[in-house]
């Protein structure tokens, strides 16, 4: 293991707002295992006073949970806001007012705002950098506020960006995305439909007909990347804990002979994008901060078409891992620090 | 429960070739619970001499397994051939030669022959009726040889047929099918990739790029139904035992205002097609001989598009249940006999 | 299939209080598939006005849910109370006051009352027959009130009763029971610990140290059967939907040479007890109203010991199926009516 | 994270015989992530020439597999033999003959030899140190040959040793162990009973009646620790990938007032034993090299009894992790090196 030499390196104090959710827990684990970050506080409104059991660096840590109002926002170098959509923007405003950097994991600050028309609180930027380092790294270095992308959006946009930028997507065409996610994406709030007995041995679509919150940031970003296409996004619920696989049908503007070629060119030096000549599986990416991409040119098609498969761990590259990757960029650290476990 | 009055009804002796596979077991269970069928024999080449434990009608039955050469083909009224692709046609020929009706569950006799170019043995019809009763019932009544459809093909074709027949599929367009199946579809032969530890918490595509065996019967049948479209079929492996959900993107030739309308018209009187205004889930169809269909008109699309969801139990409506449904038609029984458990 | 001739047979109207729970749903399915029972009403306090989707007899039924106060208790021949422990006794009293038979699935009326010291409401018998037909059938025929046993208790007591009655349990010894249950036993109320992501790939004990509610009815019944032993009962939570397997270590009062002998003698004519010379698995009993028992005489022990394995479906023989079996006895029907699916 | 300073530390070359099994893969992952070990070779008889995909230190490594005869045994500082029981001893002899240290993960060299009466090959010690560092650390430091314990034995013996050494187990009594394991314990050889469809939603005992291979090393070690008791060991197969939970009923020689007291005294300074006042779950220990122990004093017992729960990851503390722990001791490294991931 090539561990990062940590002597004489700067160290930063970071806090987590909303530590009891699945993303919040994963954030705590990553921070506790990060050589240059220290966990300053972890808040959980409804569980304050209790402790959170976090496995990191070979040990079980008992992290005390405090109420959000008790958090010393100004005393931290950076705060991760892992709060519910809608409730997050207000806390982002407070962190900004305290003069502290913030990575927001909700959809509140993302392009399209998750489809919700709302006024952001005073002080919160309308155009916070969108935290997909593989696409927009320059805007993230040293940034003070970053909107961490949605999990589905991460898997889809990292897969589609090279095609969009190369003009490979047929103009006016429909890009059809059938994605499937593990249940941890639905969060820790107990609901009947996420009980074990309802999910095991089951599988179904949900949020269909282009109604899912993540569609908005996908559309906005695709336009920004120069693509003129319609997205049809259909998520499904898998009987697994973690992981997203997006299966994407892309009508091409011109035939390709090598399905992976656009991705090789774009991601040659990306530490967190893996290309495979096979097909990515959830087991390849679980607990890792990567997007794993495979691609196939189907036979027997009149319309030149590329089939792209993109797998991530929804809690790591789809949430907490990417948030730490963004924090590393914001704080001037090695982008991969704490993420090569 | 509206049980079928069974007095004074004809009763038939049926045999199962290949009873130790998952489809063969399910056939035995359905036959043992069927009011007018008697299990004449069950063969299993490699397990002859042992018994098969089958749960049916509230009891555990011990079915003796014999070698296929010991089976009295002429003494049966109908034989189900649940043998491996490639090996089945020869046995179908023997059953035909014995003067006995046969339902073949392999791809050997299906339209397109599963993509395999081969000579069928003498006596085996080149154009056996394709056993999708909801589409081709007339050809199945009283038939002596029937090709039972593939599981994926059943889920896809029952969903697409009303659209094809109504001219609703945009000419020349790509119909993109992202389907997901439980592991029982892969059969009982032990392989590393189907071990529990390899499948649990995992999900991946396979047979991509239009290479799956079932594509051929889908394409052939779509042409026969009058559709001029390309199919892009992408199967995935789910960490569940039973069930297939096909998520189908259909570019429309004209806009629709009611997503379910084409299906209501076509399937008003079908006992084994269920329409839902919601979304079909695997749990809705497991252990039942139905195709459950939902449909949605997505928003924000320049190309009018219909999203269709089609769920089946791959071992029931996708194999053994449909085979019994076909046998009922072939033998002049109530089509639903033994299938309303 | 030996279907029960249903012509000229009496038919009864039955209601379900608490139909939205897992036991309540299973009851509705069994009633809808029962040749001599009609579902008079199904109540669900918090979901009244909605419908419950129930799969039975090959169809999906939409059962309207009413509030419990709307139920015509007097108009039913028998009511199943599938209500939470503690809340049930009051409703049992109302059903009794309405002159209607009742099967109570809670622990309120069971021997030991689930360990809760409470006064039963007026009119509710202190000693309702305990609905384990295999042990106490005579008391159940024609009974007006029956306490349906707990799921764990059913699996354990059917396994231990023949040993207790034959004096085979070493006096004063500890009978150690390690049992494991699927998650449906925990009910439909959403709780964090029963979310899919918390249960999948996990396994743990709970309710340890003899604190589980079902222990009380086990102890009381063992005494009644003449055994003088201590029970040590340790339940575990399995990542499965349905099923209980109890692994029971029994110190014997005298050596045995045939592990199954005591069970063969006791259960020769029981339709719902299966003995196996192998080991019972959950898959053998799911969706069936049976107790499946295996037994082994371990080697290398100074103390003669019998190891007994007992498997049931917690929602069928452990709850709704047994309740219907009891109802059949109470109403003078064939004990197996509606249970041989 | 308290990373181990690695500068100026010795580094060793280690090889893996049998790298394609689940333990072998885990060994490769641990070695690739270990700061002082280098993977010299990885063999797999039937897959030589192919590569093994191993996730370690944030990356996917492609490990070339060679045939065992190609391995440079003399060029390695230590070899892990992760070969099938019965086939391993011969290879251990070859490694010893090459002058190289060896950790054998099979049962061949363990106390009792897995119940198999066999002659060990020349040069293989009859009494190789048994690699349970928490019990027998002194014999392992600097050792040249170590027999790595079985997974079940590890979970049971670490739980029972403090009771045995303190004389707390009632003389002549039966210690009853109901253990449950994930499927990875059964290995990678494809067998019908370990197919996903056979395991999901299922649970059953196996190897019952004291017939399991690991019982022999448990019995032998318990005697060595001074206990005079009979073990009754009953393993079960869980529908999970990884993890073992042993639920152990211990008749005590004298009453205890604090269930965890014996363990606190024994394991105060053990980095790889965790005590919990709650109940250990598989999720607490997966992917970690720990034994997690909980204990309860049940109420209502005439015989003073302790209920002990012991959880491990069968592939880590139950196999590869413990093997690395032993290798660290044999090579004079920090015992925890490479194990605090």
Q: List pLDDT tens digits, range B65-79.
A: 999 999 999 999 999
Q: State mean pLDDT over C58-73.
A: 95
Task: Give the span between the Cα atoms of D193 and D199, in whole angstroms.
Answer: 7
From the options 2.140.10.10, 3.20.20.10, 3.40.50.720, 3.40.1280.10, give the CATH code of B6-149+318-330. Answer: 3.40.50.720
SS3 A315: coil
User: What band does A3 get if pLDDT is binned at 50, 70 and 90?
Assistant: very low
| Alpha carbon of A236: minimum distance to chain B alpha carbons (Å) | 10
* Residue A232 with chain B: CB contacts under 8 Å: 249, 298, 301, 305, 307
pLDDT tops 60 at residue B6: no
Task: Give the span between the Cα atoms of D260 and D326, in whole angstroms.
Answer: 27
Task: Give the span between the Cα atoms of A43 and A51, in whole angstroms.
Answer: 10
Q: State mean pLDDT over D191-218.
A: 95
Task: Give the span between the Cα atoms of A182 and A186, in whole angstroms.
Answer: 8
Which residue in this structure is represented by tokens 């302790």? Answer: D306
Q: For residue B299, what is the enclosing H or E element?
A: none
| Alpha carbon of B36: minimum distance to chain C alpha carbons (Å) | 9
Contact check, Cβ <8 Å, B195/D194: yes
Within 8 A by CB and 6+ apart from A45, the residues are A67, A68
Tokens of residue B136, six digits: 């081709």
| Contact by Cβ (8 Å): D206, D152 | no
| Alpha carbon of C204: minimum distance to chain D alpha carbons (Å) | 5
Residue B8 is predicted with a pLDDT of 59
| Contact by Cβ (8 Å): C169, C251 | yes
The catalytic residues of B are 151
Query: pLDDT > 70: what percent of chain C?
Result: 97
Q: Where are the beta strands (DSSP E) in C133-290?
A: 145-147, 174-181, 204-205, 230-237, 244-251, 273-275
Q: Report how far Cα D174 is from the mean position of its chain's Cα atoms.
A: 24
Report the residue from A172, A211, A299 with minimal CB separation from B210.
Answer: A299
Within 8 A by CB and 6+ apart from D28, the residues are D16, D19, D39, D42, D52, D54, D56, D61, D63
Within 8 A by CB and 6+ apart from A258, the residues are none
Q: How far is CA D72 from CA D15, D17, D77, in A?
A: 9, 11, 11
- The 3-state secondary structure of chain D, one letter per residue: CCCCCCCCCCCEEEEEECCCCHHHHHHHHHHHCCCCEEEEEEECHHHCCCEEEEEECCEEEEEECECHHHCCHHHCCEEEECCCCCCHHHHHHHHHHCCCEEEECCCCCCHHHHHCCCCCCCCCCCCCCECCHHHHHHHHCCCCEEECCCHHHHHHHHHHHHHHHCCCECCCCEEEEEEEECHHHHCCCCCHHHEHHHHCCCCEECCCCCCCCHHHHHHHHHHHCCCCCEEEEEEEECCCCCCEEEEEEEEECCCCCCCCHHHHHHHCCCCCEEECCCCCCHHHHCCCCCEEEEEECCCCCCCCEEEEEEEECCCHHHHHHHHHHHHHHHHCCCCCCCCCC
Contact check, Cβ <8 Å, A197/C191: no
| Alpha carbon of C222: minimum distance to chain A alpha carbons (Å) | 32
Q: List, by residue range, all CATH 3.30.360.10 domains of chain C.
A: 152-314
- Of D310, D286, D293, nearest to D152 by C-alpha is D310
Q: At CA B60, angle to CA B55 and CA B62, rounded to 5?
A: 105
* Pairing of the two strands C101-104 and C145-147: parallel
pLDDT tops 80 at residue C6: no
Which residue in this structure is represented by tokens 């709307």? Answer: C70
Is the Cβ of C60 closer than 8 Å to some Cβ of chain B? yes
Q: What are phi and psi of C248, to 5 degrees?
A: -120, 125
Q: State mean pLDDT over A208-234.
A: 94
Is the Cβ of B25 closer than 8 Å to some Cβ of chain C? no
Mean pLDDT across chain C, nearest whole number?
Answer: 95
Q: How far is CA C301 from CA C61, C167, C252, D176, D306, in A?
A: 54, 20, 11, 11, 20
User: What band does A8 get if pLDDT is binned at 50, 70 and 90?
Assistant: low
Report the residue from C182, C232, C297 with minimal CB separation from D305.
Answer: C232
Contact check, Cβ <8 Å, A34/D58: no
State the helix-helix crossing angle for A321-331 and A22-32, rounded to 10 degrees.
50
- Of D254, D257, D272, nearest to D313 by C-alpha is D272
pLDDT tops 50 at residue A2: no
* Residue D174 with chain C: CB contacts under 8 Å: 249, 251, 301-303, 305
Is the Cβ of D33 closer than 8 Å to some Cβ of chain A? yes
Q: Choose, from C71, C95, C145, C151, the residue flagged as catalytic.
A: C151
| Alpha carbon of D37: minimum distance to chain A alpha carbons (Å) | 9
> Does B156 or A5 have the greater pLDDT score?
B156
User: What band does C213 get if pLDDT is binned at 50, 70 and 90?
Assistant: confident
* Pairing of the two strands B51-56 and D145-147: unpaired
Contact check, Cβ <8 Å, C196/A241: yes
Residue B157 is predicted with a pLDDT of 98
Is the Cβ of D59 closer than 8 Å to some Cβ of chain B? no
Residue D10 is predicted with a pLDDT of 81
Residue D323, CB-side half-sphere exposure with 13 Å CA sphere: 35
Which one of C1, C198, C241, C274 makes the best mutation probe of the B interface by having the most chain B beta carbons within 10 Å?
A: C1
Residue B7 is predicted with a pLDDT of 53
Report the residue from C32, C201, C341 with minimal CB separation from B201.
Answer: C201
Within 8 A by CB and 6+ apart from B303, the residues are A173, A174, A230, B170, B251, B252
| Alpha carbon of C294: minimum distance to chain B alpha carbons (Å) | 15
* Nearest residue in chain D measured CA to CA from A39: D1
* Residue D32 with chain A: CB contacts under 8 Å: 1
Q: Choose, from A78, A145, A151, A160, the residue flagged as catalytic.
A: A151
Residue D149 is predicted with a pLDDT of 98
Residue B3 is predicted with a pLDDT of 39
Would you call C298 exposed, middle or buried from its count of C-beta atoms within 10 A (0-12, 13-18, 19+)?
buried
Q: State mean pLDDT over A120-136.
A: 96
Report the residue from B192, B201, B241 with minimal CB separation from D197.
Answer: B241
* Residue D232 with chain C: CB contacts under 8 Å: 249, 298, 301, 305, 307
What is the number of other CB atoms lying within 10 angstroms of the CB of residue C72? 13
Q: State mean pLDDT over D277-297.
A: 97
Contact check, Cβ <8 Å, D303/C251: no
What is the number of other CB atoms lying within 10 angstroms of the CB of residue B256? 18
Is the Cβ of D283 closer than 8 Å to some Cβ of chain B? no
| Contact by Cβ (8 Å): D315, D62 | no
Residue D2 is predicted with a pLDDT of 39
Tokens of residue C71, six digits: 């139920």
Residue B1 is predicted with a pLDDT of 33
* Nearest residue in chain B measured CA to CA from D189: B192
- Of D269, D275, D285, D271, nearest to D308 by C-alpha is D275
* Nearest residue in chain D measured CA to CA from A321: D58
Q: State mean pLDDT over C113-127.
A: 88
| Alpha carbon of D313: minimum distance to chain B alpha carbons (Å) | 14
Contact check, Cβ <8 Å, D341/A58: yes
* Nearest residue in chain B measured CA to CA from D188: B192
Contact check, Cβ <8 Å, D174/C305: yes
Partnered with residue C250 across adjacent β-strands are: C306
Q: State mean pLDDT over D72-87.
A: 96
Lowest-pLDDT range of B108-117, B236-245, C41-50, C311-320: B108-117
Length, in residues, of chain B? 341
Q: What is the CA radius of gyration of chain B?
A: 20
Mean pLDDT across chain A, nearest whole number?
Answer: 95
Task: Give the span between the Cα atoms of B288 and A35, in whole angstroms.
Answer: 55
Q: How far is CA C278 from CA B162, B339, D207, in A?
A: 50, 31, 11
Contact check, Cβ <8 Å, D3/A35: yes
Mean pLDDT across chain B, nearest whole number?
Answer: 95
Which residue in this structure is represented by tokens 């090695």? Answer: A334
Fold of C152-314: Dihydrodipicolinate Reductase; domain 2 (3.30.360)
Q: State mean pLDDT over D305-317.
A: 98
pLDDT tops 90 at residue C220: yes
Residue A114 is predicted with a pLDDT of 84
* Residue D236 with chain C: CB contacts under 8 Å: 180, 245, 247
pLDDT tops 60 at residue C124: yes
Buried b (16+ CB within 10 A) or exposed e, D214-250: bbbbbbbbbeebebebbbbbbbbbbbbbbbbbbbbbb
Residue A311 is predicted with a pLDDT of 98
Task: Give the span between the Cα atoms of D27 and D251, in whole angstroms.
Answer: 37
Residue C8 is predicted with a pLDDT of 59
- The 3-state secondary structure of A149-196, one letter per residue: CCHHHHHHHHHHHHHHHCCCECCCCEEEEEEEECHHHHCCCCCHHHEH
Tokens of residue A187, six digits: 């969060």
Residue D7 is predicted with a pLDDT of 53
Q: State mean pLDDT over C175-202.
A: 97
Task: Give the span between the Cα atoms of D88 and D28, in whole angstroms.
Answer: 18
Which one of C196, C203, C319 makes the best mutation probe of the A interface by having the most chain A beta carbons within 10 Å?
A: C196
| Contact by Cβ (8 Å): D123, D94 | no
What is the number of other CB atoms lying within 10 angstroms of the CB of residue D59? 16
Q: State mean pLDDT over A59-72.
A: 96
Q: List, by residue range, all CATH 3.40.50.720 domains of chain A.
A: 6-149+318-330
D300: alpha, beta or left, given left = phi > 0 and alpha = psi -120 to 50?
left
DSSP secondary-structure letter at B85? T
pLDDT tops 80 at residue A6: no
Task: Give the span between the Cα atoms of C40 and C101, in whole angstroms.
Answer: 14
Is the Cβ of D188 closer than 8 Å to some Cβ of chain B? yes
User: What band does A7 get if pLDDT is binned at 50, 70 and 90?
Assistant: low
Question: What would the pLDDT profile of A182-200 be if each residue is shown by its tens digit?
Answer: 999 999 999 999 999 999 9
């Amino acid at each position: 293991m090539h561990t990062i030499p940590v002597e004489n390196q700067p160290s930063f104090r970071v806090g987590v707002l909303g530590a009891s959710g699945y993303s919040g827990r994963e954030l705590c684990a990553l921070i506790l295992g990060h050589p240059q970050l220290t966990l300053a506080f972890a808040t959980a409104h409804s569980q304050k006073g209790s402790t959170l059991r976090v496995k990191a660096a070979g040990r079980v840590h008992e992290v005390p949970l405090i109420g959000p109002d008790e958090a010393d926002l100004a005393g931290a170098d950076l705060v991760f806001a892992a709060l519910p959509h809608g409730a997050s923007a207000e806390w982002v405003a407070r962190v900004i007012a305290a003069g502290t950097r913030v990575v927001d994991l909700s959809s509140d600050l993302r392009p399209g705002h998750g489809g919700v028309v709302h006024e952001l609180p005073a002080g919160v930027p309308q155009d916070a950098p969108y935290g997909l380092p593989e696409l927009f790294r320059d805007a993230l270095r040293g940034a003070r506020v970053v909107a961490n992308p949605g999990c589905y959006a991460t898997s889809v946009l990292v897969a589609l960006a090279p095609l969009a930028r190369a003009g490979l997507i047929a103009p006016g065409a429909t890009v059809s995305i059938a994605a499937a996610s593990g249940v941890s994406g639905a969060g820790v709030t107990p609901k009947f439909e996420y009980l074990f007995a309802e999910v095991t041995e089951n599988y179904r679509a949900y949020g269909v007909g282009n109604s899912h919150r993540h569609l908005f940031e996908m559309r906005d970003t695709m336009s920004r990347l120069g693509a003129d296409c319609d997205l049809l996004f259909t998520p499904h619920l898998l009987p697994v804990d973690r992981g997203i696989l997006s299966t994407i049908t892309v009508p091409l503007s011109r035939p390709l002979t090598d399905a992976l070629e656009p991705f090789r060119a774009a991601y040659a030096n990306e530490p967190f994008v893996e290309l495979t000549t096979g097909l990515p599986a959830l087991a390849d990416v679980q607990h890792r901060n990567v997007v794993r991409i495979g691609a196939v040119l189907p036979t027997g098609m009149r319309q030149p078409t590329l089939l792209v498969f993109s797998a991530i761990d929804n809690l790591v590259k789809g949430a907490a891992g990417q948030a730490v990757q963004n924090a590393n960029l914001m704080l001037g650290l090695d982008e991969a620090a704490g993420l090569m476990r």
